[in-house]
Structure 1
Amino acid sequence: MARRDLSLLGAHMSIAGGYHRAVERAAAVGCQCLQIFTKNSNQWRDPEVSEEQAGIFREAMRTSGLRAAISHDSYLINLGSPDQSLRDRSVGALAAELKRADLLGLDYVVVHPGAYIDGSVEAGLHRISAAIDDIHAAVPSARAKLLLETTAGQGTNLGWRFEHLAAILERVREPSRLGVCFDTCHVFAAGYPIHQPRGMAAVLREFDAVIGLSKIRAVHLNDSRAEFASRVDRHAHVGQGKIGTEAFRRLLRDERLAGIPMYLETPKGTDAEGRDWDAVNLELLRKLARSR
């Protein structure tokens, strides 16, 4: 019997020219799922999304064959900040992001947990949990859910240990409105040995014991330019970084992750032969998923 494809594979795409253009770009390179920024990721300004714009996007998704779409939050947001002004601004921005996600028909919003800046890890985790409660209170009927992303752990960023995410999930009032986005580059850089022969299986077992694999609702498929346990976040094309192709093959063939949408966040552009890098990476991933 032929092996069925386990995973939905896609990529992060630009919304330049309109939200629907991201769908067109995704379909053109063979994506089955799509991640976008709903706004400029390096600005606080929240754009007004008209019902017409949202309708065009939803129709593009319906006719494209893509089966899932999510967004990623702004890089300026820091739910763990001890600065009350930044914390409040972050809460407002993420609540607005959930509203846009609902309007566009997105399932999830990926969010970096936050950095504690000064003080302690414990204080930072407390601030993040409280901020998420405030976000949920601000948009009580939001359908889209937040996905806490595993991080590389640069500086004082939290989320680089599975225990950080578990602590947040345990403390928030509505844990059912949260999930996790598992980023391969970040996990590797944080010191989880997914590159080793038995590493991916061991890391997923640890994740299951600490958090539960059922909480993983999205995966970011990124190789790493930085060394193992460096706590440096530098994405690379699949198989062209320090993780290597075997780890991706094992992840893609793991039945426990069947059906979970997986998204590339690898560098854009074309290779030496003029092929779109997203298409190249997706082709390689599909070959790895079919191989033994």
Structure 2
Amino acid sequence: MPKFGAHMSISGGVATAFERGRDIGCETIQLFTKNNRQWKAPPLKPDEVARFHDLHTQTGIDPVVAHASYLINIASPKESVWQKSFDALRIEMERCDTLGIPWLVLHPGSHTGAGVEAGLAKVAHSLDRLYDEGGYQTAVALEITAGQGTNLGYEFEHLARIVEQMRYGDRIVYCFDTCHAFAAGYDLTTDEGYQATFDAFDRLLGLDRLVCFHLNDSKGDLASNLDRHTHIGLGAIGLGGFARLVRDPRFADAPMILETPKEDDMAEDRLNLRVLRALVEGDLSEDDLRDWWRTFEQETGRTP
């Protein structure tokens, strides 16, 4: 069975993500290493780092995946934006190294009108410079995107072009977001579409470099370019698409992480994790799913 988990809040300190993850039965987690809405962050204190490592060991939650701030745009043609983005990415990498986090998930960024090729070249140059300056142990995990606006990364070819232009291309790995891929036009709803998607991924990027998944159903239709996450089985991908993925023996040990909507009590995460585990076992029907969410609504007063 894959390792299932969710993105966890770090309110109260980075180590608290483990406590939250343990409380809802996560086997893996994703977190921000700092405030996602700010460019900078104070250095991690030794006691924070020690607590993080202690809870990592105590909970057995592994691997830990970090996600870079959404402010970062290392594809920007505007020098002031690029410099702030590069500096922020450097901070994120330093924090990941300090915490021993193996992968930092990063959106390739947006070319904001400079053109796709110029944007991809800027990303490649930026990542090379990052590794030139830092020699980090953490690997950048480029994430496929939905293709909104001038965002890069909505085709596997975009990620391949970045790596081809890099001197440190061997340090780059990948994160596959189901909602983003589906919205970008990769069909996961049929056997043929699923097979074609991962055949293309393997040919262009290599399945051996696919280190983690974001599991999100899609509010938008196939090729809609709409980055709107919803709960597993309640969107346009549906239960069938996720059943194919979680039962795929190639990904039997992969971390699969929810980024679906939730409130502070994380009840939605608990239910989505239950759905994923039932799909592995093969005993979940559409009727079951409706019943589970109907009970959820009665117990919480919240509509999914």
Shorter-normalised TM range? over 0.9
* Partner Cα distance (2:55, 2:40) in 1: 26
Other structure's SS at 2:30 match: strand
Q: Indicate whether 1:280 and 2:271 are aligned.
A: yes
Matched with 1:107 is 102
CA displacement at 1:119 relative to structure 2? 2.2
Q: Indicate whether 1:128 and 2:119 are aligned.
A: no
Partner amino acid for 2:118?
Answer: A
* Partner Cα distance (1:257, 1:57) in 2: 27
Mean Cα displacement is larger for which, 121-130 or 188-197?
A: 188-197
* Partner Cα distance (1:219, 1:55) in 2: 28
CA displacement at 1:269 relative to structure 2? 2.4
Matched with 1:176 is 170
What does 1:76-155 correspond to in 2, within 5 Å?
76-140=71-135, 142-155=136-149
How many aligned residue pairs are there?
A: 283
Matched with 2:180 is 186
Partner amino acid for 1:57?
Answer: F
* Partner Cα distance (1:256, 1:89) in 2: 39
Deviations 1:111-135 (A, max 9, x none): 0001000121111111110011111
What does 1:244-255 correspond to in 2, within 5 Å?
244-255=238-249
* Partner Cα distance (2:170, 2:281) in 1: 34
Other structure's SS at 1:59 match: helix
Q: Indicate whether 1:203 and 2:197 are aligned.
A: yes
Identity among equivalent pairs (%)? 43
Other structure's SS at 1:158 match: coil
Deviations 1:64-121 (A, max 9, x none): 0212101100111001100011112211111111110111121110000010001211
Does structure 2 conserve the Cα–Cα contact (< 8 Å) formed by 1:108 and 1:146? Answer: yes
Other structure's SS at 1:287 match: helix
Does structure 2 conserve the Cα–Cα contact (< 8 Å) formed by 1:95 and 1:136? Answer: no
Point out where structure 2 has 5 or more consecutive residues left out of the alignment: 284-304
CA displacement at 1:275 relative to structure 2? 7.6
Other structure's SS at 1:157 match: coil
What does 1:7-22 correspond to in 2, within 5 Å?
7-22=2-17
Match of 1:242 among 236, 240, 253: 236
Does structure 2 conserve the Cα–Cα contact (< 8 Å) formed by 1:79 and 1:90? Answer: yes
Partner amino acid for 1:288?
Answer: L
Mean Cα displacement is larger for which, 256-265 or 160-169?
A: 256-265
Partner amino acid for 1:121?
Answer: V
Structure 1 segments, 4+ long, off by >3 Å, are none
Match of 2:211 among 191, 214, 217: 217
CA displacement at 1:197 relative to structure 2? 3.8
* Partner Cα distance (2:252, 2:223) in 1: 28
Point out where structure 1 has 5 or more consecutive residues left out of the alignment: none
Matched with 2:35 is 40
Q: Indicate whether 1:258 and 2:252 are aligned.
A: yes
Does structure 1 conserve the Cα–Cα contact (< 8 Å) formed by 2:24 and 2:266? Answer: no
Using the size of structure 2 for normalisation, the TM-score is 0.90
Matched with 1:158 is 152
Other structure's SS at 1:201 match: helix
CA displacement at 1:201 relative to structure 2? 1.9
Does structure 1 conserve the Cα–Cα contact (< 8 Å) formed by 2:218 and 2:235? Answer: yes
Change beyond 3 A, Cα 1:50–1:275: closer
Matched with 1:67 is 62
